[in-house]
Amino acid sequence: MIKYFLAEDTIDSKDIDRLIAWLKGAPRLTKGEVTLEFEARWSGWVGKRYSVFNNSGSSANLLMYAALDLSGRLKNKKVIVPSVGWVTSVAPAMQFGFQPIMCEADPDTFGLDLDHLESLLKKHRPGSVLLVQVLGVPHKMARIMALKKKYGFILMEDACAAIGASWRGKKAGGFGDLSSFSFYFGHQMSTIEGGMVSTDDPRFRDLLLMLRSHGWGKDLEPAARQKLVRKYKIDDFHSPFVFYIPGFNLRSTDLNAFIGLGQLDKLDWIISRRQENHLRFKERLDGKLYVQKPDPGSVICSIHFGALARDGAQRRRIVKALVDNGIETRIFSAGNLGLHPFWTDRYKRASFPMADRIHHTGFFLPNNPSLKPEDVDFIADVVEKAL
């Protein structure tokens, strides 16, 4: 029987009570005013001008790639993607006809390996780079931003599993030209399912708004919509149902946005709890296992504590001990994405020393706000004994 789950819901009974009280007022449930409020509060919280709420972190990534593709801003469709991240950090590149080039993982943060990234930038001069902020440990952003300036690429920042992490006072997701977030169950905060894309650029914002809803202009600000109406000489009767770009329906609802607002109210508490647990795990296990090393000035906000065993045999022993003691575990994110069939069926196997090590020896331990110091110690004891 599992006693310690990898993920616990951050939507608690108080949140459910608030939701029920709100629902009893018979509010509009589809996307509307509450979504706009959630987007505005999210933008303020993360430090971006605009945000577009949608139905998952994966949809947020899809929207980033699609907006970039349609923006006319790309110098080419080469994109550097991480070997350690999530399948939907990379899949949209394949779906939208980009040429993805896979990058090794950094030995400290497990984000993009900076030397490999620079060699790929020199060789391929890609139009864009997708950076994953791995598991709430922010990457070395000084060098990433210097490389961005030097090589002139557009940065997509996947902060889906890094909400609340920050680097020298700036939030994860605050660095990208386009940034994505996930509010899936078990992530730093939850809207059941949900995602957000944030940007400072009004062109990207308008594309995201149209892409999210069928390609129509109804969600645009009045001036932006009027510009299109004039450009295409649309009459008032047709105007709401004119489709300007080939879009999707990736909307969420006001119900999910209402939950999101409640989660934002307690996000600072969630961050401090997750950071405390993470640092306690790190104190107990660093040196005995290989763990992520944050850059100075980082605030960590992890959803699981990730660690690497010495080898596959040691990982098997640790996993068995965890399972025997009712502690849920799994592989480290997706390991190396370059070893998965979705990639190897289409491209050459992308094998790199660090990413492969994460693939073959990595595992997760639970971290969530309800975990107490004594729980962390119990889990760390079980791991230590298995070493």
List residues binding ligand PLP (CB under 6 A): 56-58, 61, 85-86, 88-89, 132, 158, 160-161, 182, 184, 195
Rounded to whole angstroms, the Cα distance separating 41 from 35 reads 10
* Nearer residue to ligand PLP within complex by CB, 86 or 244: 86
Output 62 or 285, the one with its CB closest to ligand PLP. 62
Smallest gap from Cβ 352 to ligand PLP, in A, equals: 18
Our CB check for ligand PLP shows the closer of 160 and 165 to be: 160
Cβ atoms 274, 281 nearer than 8 A: no
Residue 102 Cβ, how far from ligand PLP at the closest point, in Å? 15
CA distances from 369 to 102, 275, 286 (A): 34, 9, 21
Distance in Å, CB of 295 to ligand PLP, minimum: 18
* Smallest gap from residue 5 Cβ to ligand PLP (A): 16
Q: Which is nearer to ligand PLP, 256 or 361 (CB)?
A: 256
Kind and range of the H or E run holding 207: helix 202-212
CB of residue 169 to ligand PLP, shortest distance in Å: 22
Closest by alpha carbon to 309, among 323, 291, 289?
289
Residue closer to ligand PLP by CB (options 85, 217) is 85
CA distance 48 to 177: 10
From the centroid of its chain, how far is CA 224? 29
Per-residue burial over 5-23, b = 16 or more CB atoms within 10 Å of its CB, e = otherwise: ebbbebbeeebeeeeeebe
- Strand pairing report for 78-82 and 154-158: unpaired
User: Using CA of residue 62, residue 97, residue 201, residue 119, what is the dihedral sign?
Assistant: positive
CB of 130 to ligand PLP, least distance (A): 10
Q: Which residue is nearest to ligand PLP (CB)?
A: 57
| Residue with Cβ nearer ligand PLP (57 or 217) | 57
Provide the β-strand partners of residue 171: 166
